[in-house]
Amino acid sequence: MADRTTGAAGAAGRAPAADRPDMVRNVVLVGHSGAGKTTLAEALLAATGTIQRPGRVEDGTTVNDFDEVEVRQQRSVNLSLSPMTHNGIKINLLDTPGYADFMGDLRAGLRAADAALFVVSAAEGVDGLSRMLWEECAAVGMPRAVVITKIDHQRADFDEVLTSCQDAFGDGVAPLYLPHDGGLIGLLSRRFYDYSGGTRTEKEPPESTRENMEGYRGMLIEGIIQESEDESLMDRYLAGEEIGTKVLIDDLEKAMARGGFHPVLATGTGVGAAELLEIMTQGFPAPPEHPLPEIATIDGKPVAGLSCDPDGPLVAQILKTTSDPYVGRISLVRVFSGTLRPDMTVHVSGHGLAERGHEDHDLDERIGALSSPLGKTQRTSTRCVAGDICAVAKLGRAETGDTLSERENPLVVTPWAMPEPLLPVAIQARSKADEDKLGQALGRLVAEDPTLRLENNPETRQLVLWCMGEAHVDVLLDRLARRHGVEVEKISLRVPLRETFGGRCQAMGRNVKQTGGHGQYAICHLEVEPLPSGSGFQFVDRIVGGVVPRQFIPSVEKGVRSQMERGVLAGYPMVDVKVTLYDGKAHSVDSSDMAFQIAGALALKEAAGKVPTLLLEPVDEVSVLVADDYVGSVMSDLSSRRGRVLGTEPVGTGRTLVRAEVPELEITRYAIDLRSMSHGTGTFHRSFLRYEPLPPQVADRLATPG
């Protein structure tokens, strides 16, 4: 968009503020790890004068130093905000992690933004994860421009990467600039923007570039015209008419806003910042041009008529929550309607993730100071208008995904789709001191991260973190140790098994004890037989003649149920059993409720010695969505896990859904294995289906729980 560029980027104040929604641009950086997103953000901050040099803010910390985990691991694992101004426009630049493990932060960034810069490295090109991230953007209709970074890298090949982007991302991807000899050629303006001298100067393009420039320019114009609302433009262009630059730029902006056209820009060391700032401020939609998410009352009734109006009712959503042991909880908030001010009392509405251990909220809270974050620096703000993003202090109960609204008119913003955590990791505290602090520390992690599910399994008596992948696990345990001072260790995950009888038999429970005083007397005869899978437990009373008094028949059943919960072989609960009480004896003095409970339990244990007792394992229904190239590997791998592949079906272009039934014992680490097998692009869903007998060789290994 250099056709309307004003030259070098304008300087920005230390705490940029927006008075009107149309003076804001919310832009999210999306791309795989290593594509150069954080470096690009730092270059833009330096170009606008927000920081003195790339990577450093005024206190000497780096831009992504807000999280000590990122500093140690040298990778972005959080959604981060970098505000800046250019030509009077405030740009909220949101940097997202480039790992599949942190897809929740990417989706939060997409909720916050009105447009995306999709970042691809000229050295590494497009991979499977890039395609998946592009689909994430497309799923929410996000306007996108593509930025090819590292054009000065020794392995850089702009033309090859451009072709890869067009093949991977489909129609509507066309270059707006071409890199050349330390600068960029603007295809619409036919001008060369030379950065080789350290400052940006405008020149005529070298004669040697004209043929290549005109070829790419034709590709760009045809792409713009195809998206134009003026149907006569194509005919005029094909007839040889020169289409005016202003007409092309206007149509380009409209096509980008609709999400139908994706211009490609290029950046390198010291090159391309001005062009990016220009397209962000003049080509990307402002918040009032981007549809609001779905909003409802707290009882679920849709609310219509709201807009990005600073004078409207307050509606804001928490994008990210971070906890600091010294500063407290900080919430990153996007305001969709109304104006947020310091010390307001707002209503906090929950996000519907109670099944993951995230408490639903319906309460009032007084917010603290508003600030504009940059690295660890929090610059005070006096307000945050509709369309803007800020950090809010002292929201003690609010969590990521929660809605902030007026006390008198509480509303709920539909939460973005949260990815499902499918990697279970069992942990335990290393010491008693760690155990005492673990509950509170985990509560804070859960508040920060809606992709984390916390399970306290009553059967296995294990504390289980359900995570997105290994990198996610590493980050969570690092935060527990460094931020909250709690050391934990990973332990072997136990899968809850079941027991059942392998045949039919009769058994007697005899509980007769005479101790000189009041004794115990209870004898019961049971018939035990297995039931079909999923039938549960049946108790049948066939007592005749009162040999077991009526008041003690429920006691026998209670004793049987109690023993079934404890198991008879390896300590796992028994299921799918029919027990018939057909005979017994009682004593007028010594029989009691407890005596017959014990007799019932003893009879069940005796039955276990007469017929085989089987161990049952849970079997899950698994659906794997994977690129066509990996279908064979996935099916072979599922079969090796004792799985039964039920079938496949195509999903969209180039992807296949594989359906199978797989024992839970075999897929505890499937989230890691599938990611490796599919190069980070495969996803899966699992749900409990039924219990089935364990193969004898596996049952022998698991005969003792734990």
Per-residue pLDDT tens for 433-464? 999 999 989 988 888 888 999 999 988 899 99
Contact 83, 312 (CB under 8 A): no
Percent of the chain surpassing pLDDT 70: 91
φ/ψ of 104, rounded to 5, equals -60, -40
- Token pair for residue 536? 């549960």
Would the pLDDT of 547 be above 50? yes
pLDDT of residue 395: 86
How large is the average pLDDT for residues 228-254? 83
Kindly state the average pLDDT of the residues 210-225: 90
Domains parsed from the chain with CATH numbers? 2-289 (3.40.50.300), 295-413 (2.40.30.10), 424-491 (3.30.70.870), 498-611 (3.30.230.10), 615-701 (3.30.70.240)
Q: What average pLDDT does this structure show over 284-313?
A: 92
Q: Average pLDDT for residues 304-322, to the nearest whole number?
A: 93
DSSP 3-state of 480 = helix
- Give the lowest-confidence range in 250-259, 360-369, 512-521: 512-521
* Beta partners for residue 647, in sequence order: 659
pLDDT higher than 50, residue 97 = yes
pLDDT range class, residue 357, cuts 50, 70, 90: low
List pLDDT tens digits, range 386-415. Answer: 999 999 988 888 888 899 999 999 999 998
Quick count: other Cβ atoms within 10 Å of Cβ 587? 15
Q: What's the CA gap between 589 and 595, in Å, rounded?
A: 12
| Residues 18-66: tens digit of each pLDDT | 889 999 999 999 999 889 999 999 999 999 988 876 654 444 444 554 4
d(CA 490, CA 346): 40
Residue where the block lists tokens 């003893």: 602
Q: What is the per-residue DSSP string for 354-389? A: GGGT----EEEEE---EEEEETTEEEEES-EETT-E
Model pLDDT, residue 359: 66
- Nearest-angstrom CA–CA distance, 344 and 5: 40
CB distance 145 to 137 below 8 Å: no
More confident site: 35 or 516: 35
* pLDDT at position 517: 67
pLDDT band at 279 (very low <50, low <70, confident <90, very high): very high
pLDDT class for 631, splitting at 50, 70, 90?
A: very high
pLDDT on residue 229: 79
Which of 391-400, 592-601, 606-615 has the least mean pLDDT? 391-400
Q: How far apart are the first and last CA of the chain?
A: 64
pLDDT of 126 higher than 60: yes
Q: Would you state the pLDDT for residue 24? A: 96
Residue 358 has pLDDT above 80, yes or no: no
- The answer to whether residue 569 scores a pLDDT higher than 70 is yes
Whether 273 shows a pLDDT value over 50: the answer reads yes
Cα-flanking dihedrals φ and ψ of residue 423, to 5°?
A: -110, 105
Query: Can you give the pLDDT at residue 704?
Result: 53
Cα–Cα separations (whole angstroms), residue 517 to 239, 585, 586: 114, 20, 17
What pLDDT was estimated at residue 13? 38
Average pLDDT over residues 535-550: 93
Amino acid at 360: D
The more confidently predicted of residues 16 and 562 is: 562
Read off the tokens for 360: 């639903």
Q: Is the pLDDT of residue 8 over 70?
A: no
Determine the pLDDT at residue 467. 94
Range list of β-strands (E), 458-517: 462-467, 488-491, 498-501, 505-513
